[in-house]
Amino acid sequence: MAISVSGTTPMTDDWIRERLCRLGMQPSPGPPVVWRDTRNYMSIERGHFIDLAGDLFLIRCNEHEGRFGLDDQPKFWVKRALDLNTGKIHILKLVIQESFRVSVGPREVLCVRSAEKESKVLNLVRGDPRFMQGRTTCDASGNPVRVIDCIRGTDLLTYLHSVRLRHEEYCRTLLPAILAKVADNIAALGRLHEAGLCHGDIRNDHLLVERETGLYKWIDFDLDQGFADFDIWSVGNVLHCVVAKGFMTFRDALEARPELSGELTQDDASVFFPHRVMNLRKIYPYLAEKLNKVLLRFSFGARVCYDRISQITADLAEYASCIS
């Protein structure tokens, strides 16, 4: 019989080997390691199995994330896994207890990982192609495991970096269509806010461009701040990324255009990331004024800020109407 880590009745070795052979995989020589309590996610390794209410998943690897200059950081609580029943690859997100604080201007915000909140979002957005899709299944100990459908594509920032156009040509040719798609995804966030939920972790690498369809999809909803303003300020970071075709820091701006020394001030900076320039029209004078005004709402110099997603999408629609 298979090893049972949690003490419940395991599946037979023969069934597991038969399923692996049918899927064209070589069974391991030893007895399978089957986990039914996923709390100790650090010990769940490649080649182990997770049993979720009778659905058996073969762990292939930990997912990785590159951020803050740290490439390929493993996320040990997020596993890529093969469903032995269907032969499909899924992402399994296990419960992690984590909290940290981030600063938005003078305000410090507490961020907490919440599997329960992500499960609510998954239920709400089921069938909406602008969001990742998945379901929540509890393990034998009641820990909620989110079983996420894989999205084959790339993150928004990587996609933008793959565009081999000078910035002015990019703005003239591709930016309007990209912004239209991003605006639709921003509008989709309104569904969450109306339901008293939030995305909680809006970033350029949490908006994926699906390879086959070209659709943009939000991923990763497990951070919770308890108020929608964090989403709204985070949207500004994504818009900066789209309009700048990457990121534009004060250092980058002065290296490219030394004559701007003394022209760029703190009022031009992003509230969320003060080293980034939000007033991009100072660097790119050909940028549409209406679009730049949207960006300025997320700057230190903003006299009026957004407090609803619908305000952002309305201003983006006004910009789009001027170029159509």
**CA 101/CA 222 separation, integer angstroms:** 15
Question: What is residue 2's predicted lDDT score, i.e. its pLDDT?
Answer: 38
Higher-pLDDT residue of 96, 12: 96
Answer yes or no: is pLDDT of 67 > 70.
no
Residues 6+ apart with CB under 8 A from 147: 52, 57, 90, 91, 92, 134, 135, 136, 137
Q: What is the pLDDT of residue 3?
A: 40
Q: Residue 95 above 90 pLDDT?
A: yes
Residues 52 and 195 in one domain: no
pLDDT bracket for residue 7 (50, 70, 90): very low
Last residue of a domain, one of 94, 112, 142: 94
Average pLDDT over the chain reads: 92
Same domain as 200, residue 53: no
pTM: 0.91
More confident residue, 185 or 228: 185
Judged by average pLDDT, the poorest of 8-22, 53-67, 102-116, 279-293 is: 8-22
Same domain, 80 and 167: no
**Range 9-16 average pLDDT:** 72
| 274 in the same domain as 166 | yes
Q: Rounded to the nearest 10 degrees, what angle do helices 175-194 and 309-323 cross at?
A: 160
Which residue is listed with tokens 């938005």? 104
Check residue 324 and give its pLDDT: 60
Is 134 a member of any domain? no
Q: In terms of domains, do 204 and 301 share one?
A: yes
The predicted model gives 149-172 an average pLDDT of: 96
Of 36-40, 105-109, 183-187, 316-320, least confident by mean pLDDT is: 105-109
pLDDT of residue 96: 94
- Does residue 59 sit in the same domain as residue 176? no
- pLDDT level of residue 70 (50, 70, 90 thresholds): very low
202 plus 70 within the same structural domain: no
**Residue 164 sits in a domain of what CATH number?**
1.10.510.10
Share of the chain above pLDDT 70, in %: 94
Burial string for 74-104 (b: 16+ CB within 10 Å, else e) reads eeebbbbbbbbeeeeebbbbbbeeeeeeeeb
Q: Is 123 a member of any domain?
A: no
What integer is the mean pLDDT of 127-133?
98
In terms of domains, do 159 and 267 share one?
yes
**pLDDT the model gives residue 177:** 96
DSSP state letter for 249: B
**For residue 160, is it within any domain?**
yes
Boundary residue ending a domain (73, 94, 115): 94
**What percent of the chain has a predicted confidence (pLDDT) above 90?**
82
Per-state percent for the chain, helix, strand, coil, to nearest 5: 35, 25, 40
Provide the number of structural domains found in the chain: 2
Same domain, 160 and 240: yes
Range of the domain at 207: 153-323
pLDDT at 11 over 80: no
Whether 189 is covered by a domain: the verdict is: yes
The pLDDT of residue 215 is 97
- Asked, for residue 23, whether it belongs to a domain, the answer is yes
Q: Which two tokens stand for residue 73?
A: 């950081």
- pLDDT tens digits, residue range 232-274? 999 999 999 999 999 999 999 999 999 999 999 999 999 999 9
Predicted local confidence at residue 6, as pLDDT: 38
| CA-based nearest residue to 174, from 135, 118, 214 | 214
Query: For the chain, what is the total number of helices (H) and then of strands (E)?
Result: 9, 14
Among residues 77, 94, 111, the one where a domain terminates is: 94
Place of tokens 């679009």: 291
Q: Provide the Cα torsion 271, 274, 276, 279; round to 10°.
A: 50
Verify that 206 and 75 share a domain, yes or no. Answer: no
